[in-house]
Amino acid sequence: MSNEQQSERTAIAMATGSEVRVEECFQCLLCNQPVTKPKLLQCLHTFCVDCLQQERSGTGVKCPICEMVTRGDPSSLQDNILVANLQNKVKKHHQILDTAELSCTSCEASTSPEASTPPEFMCLECDKFLCSKCFHIHQVLMIDHQKHVQTLGTLRKLDSDEFLKILTRPKHLFCSTHDDQQISLYCRTCSVWLCVLCLVLEHKDHNCCGIRKQIVTFKNDLRETLGSVQENETKFSKTQEDLEMLVDKLNNDKYKMEELINARVRAAIEKVKEEESRLLNELKDLHSARVQKLQESLTRTENTLKRMTVSKTLVSQLLRYATEQEILELQGTVKSALHGLQREQPLDVQMENTVINFQECWALPKKMLGNLIISKMKLNSVPDENVQLPQYNNPERCGTKDSMQRSLKYCDKRKCDAQAETLPPMKQCVKEEASKSAEATVTISSSKNSTCSSVPCIESVTSYARDNEKQTDSSTLDTVVELIQIDSEDSN
């Protein structure tokens, strides 16, 4: 199957059903009304010119859908002639369906509207409704138009997509400089379309070709560029899924950490309630800072996907319904936008672990619950979503030898040194059976010489943006939360 056939099938699939689907393209998403004087932004979203004037800020307009900024005054932006012309064609189709609004165009021009005869035919070339009498006259005078005449009964059986399809056909275009000359050439040197006189007078030594051939080239180029954008869209969709997963995990782990902190506070004596508020506020700040970075990256990815979606819709409509003039007018703007999307690179979401240690200090009553301490370590993969939250019941040691030695600061020196010697040099993951995950209890061990304790931590995920296979700033994304609590041991 050729690329052109595949593109046509895609356009048909998009328009199936089609009257509502086609007319949805004419709605301005700012005023929720049919778009008037449609203007095309650089992101390929279309809005009313008056709505864009209200959205204008500074020297440009920020798209309310994808937030891309288009420079310039709204009135000077590219007219979306494709949408404007499709609106007129669909309006004509509605007139055909509503027989009460129809009258013979020729009779109406020669007599009063009340005296005109109900039409039975429509000439698609003249764009006129014809009664039976005027139809016979038209067939004699306009021999070249005979094959373009359709009965209104036939047209009423068509949906919007089929009606637009029969209206999408080659028409003669006339030169804006030489009014009586048809446009038949395209100057590739100057990127303008020409008549024969223009070629002889102004473009004699330029690289010129037939306009039909150039339009085929434009269409093929648009198809090829759109295909590349669609491949890029797949990558952005995967990035969107990854970002959403990270946000969900960050929120879930944040709730888990809150539960553990609250459980620890409930088990403590009444005078440490103020410490609960301090820790939760600090956790909230850490969570907000990291989720904001994730959300910003997710928003940028979603906005790029929105531009890709509207690009697919517009190019499909352009390839499906656009006349030659519309393609010539719009292909430059559309192709520029597609190239911009083609160059976009999605974030390469990589994983890194940031540990916020919770170092208990029983010797300091004012900070009995401890502090949140941030340290970093590398991760090879995303943490398993099924890993159970560590509990207080029977945790393994978690942390490096150095970090544990810091937490043993207030312990009996002889016993702390003996414990530190037995610690593994690398971090051990806390494991807990799923059946115990809902039965967390708090064990508080204390002694006259004070006790040793360690470490809640927050695992984090860091995302990288890949540009020509070079890693950029690692602070783009970070942080999902997992709190790990290590109980104290008596030092008798």
List pLDDT tens digits, range 94-118: 878 877 667 787 776 665 555 567 7
Domain termination residue (choose one: 181, 206, 231): 206
Say if residue 197 is in the same domain as residue 221: no
Residue 61 domain-assigned (yes or no): no
Lateral strand order in the sheet of 185-187: 192-194, 185-187, 208-210
**Three-state SS at 300:** helix
pLDDT value at residue 372: 55
Whether residue 211 is contained in a domain is answered as no
- Four-point Cα dihedral 90, 91, 93, 98, nearest 10: 150
What is the SS3 assignment for 81-129? HHHHHHHHHHHHHHHHHCHHHCCCHHHHHHCCHHHCCCCCEEECCCCEE
**Residue 124 CA neighbour count, 13 Å, CB half:** 20
Q: What is the pLDDT of residue 461?
A: 39
Please choose, from the candidates 248, 247, 278, 286, the residue with its C-alpha nearest in 3D space to the C-alpha of residue 261: 278
* 298 and 174 inside one domain: no
Looking at 150, 182, 206, the residue that finishes a domain is 206
Report the number of distinct structural domains present in the chain.
Answer: 2
Q: Choose the final residue of a domain: 186, 206, 226.
A: 206
Q: Would you state the pLDDT for residue 154?
A: 82
Give the pLDDT of residue 458: 40
Is the pLDDT at 424 greater than 70? The verdict is: no
Per-residue pLDDT, 356: 55
**Do 253 and 184 share a structural domain?**
no
- Please report the pLDDT score of residue 181 as a whole number: 81
Mean pLDDT of all residues belonging to the chain: 70
**What is the H or E stretch that residue 471 is in?**
strand 470-471
Neighbours of 127 (CB within 10 A): 13
State whether 357 and 260 are in the same domain: yes
What is the CB neighbour count within 10 angstroms for residue 64?
13
For residue 131, being part of any structural domain is answered with no
Question: Does 178 share its domain with 284?
Answer: no
At residue 421, φ and ψ (nearest 5 deg) are -65, -25
* pLDDT value at 48 more than 50: yes
Region 297-304: mean pLDDT is: 90
Identify whether residues 306 and 188 lie together within a single domain. no
Does residue 257 contact residue 482 with C-beta atoms inside 8 Å? yes
- 425 versus 155: the higher-pLDDT residue is 155
Greater pLDDT, 213 or 109? 213
Is residue 364 classed as helix, strand or coil in its secondary structure?
Answer: coil
Residue 304 has pLDDT above 80, yes or no: yes
CATH of the domain at 176: 3.30.160.60
Is residue 326 scored above 50 in pLDDT?
A: yes
Residues 381 and 400 grouped into a single domain? yes
User: Which pLDDT score, from 0 to 100, does residue 350 have?
Assistant: 66
Is 460 within a domain? yes
Q: Is the pLDDT of residue 303 over 90?
A: yes
pTM, entire model? 0.51
134 has pLDDT over 80: yes
What are the two backbone dihedrals, phi and then psi, of residue 71, each rounded to the nearest 5 degrees? -75, 150
Domain of 175 in residue numbering reads as 170-206
Between the alpha carbon of residue 290 and those of residues 128, 245, 249, 283, 343, the distances in Å are: 63, 14, 12, 11, 28
| Residue 475 and residue 331 share a domain | yes
Q: Among 12-16, 52-56, 239-243, name the most confident range.
A: 239-243
- CA nearest to 409, candidates 457, 364, 456, 357: 364
- 197, part of any domain: yes
Residues 313 and 187 in one domain: no
Residue 372 CA to residue 358 CA, distance in Å, equals 5
Q: Are residues 195 and 323 in the same domain?
A: no
Q: Is residue 70 part of a domain?
A: no
Q: What are phi and psi of 39, to 5 degrees?
A: -115, 140
Would you tell me how many other CB atoms lie within 10 Å of the CB of residue 255? Answer: 11
Domain annotation covers residue 200 = yes
191, 245: one domain? no
Confidence (pLDDT) at 375: 43
For residues 180 and 274, state if they share a domain.
Answer: no
The 3-state DSSP class for residue 451 equals coil
More confident residue, 138 or 302: 302
Share of the chain above pLDDT 90, in %: 6
Tell me, yes or no, whether 139 lies in a domain. Answer: no
pLDDT of residue 346: 87
Q: Mean pLDDT throughout 380-401?
A: 41
Report residue 63 as tokens.
């798209």
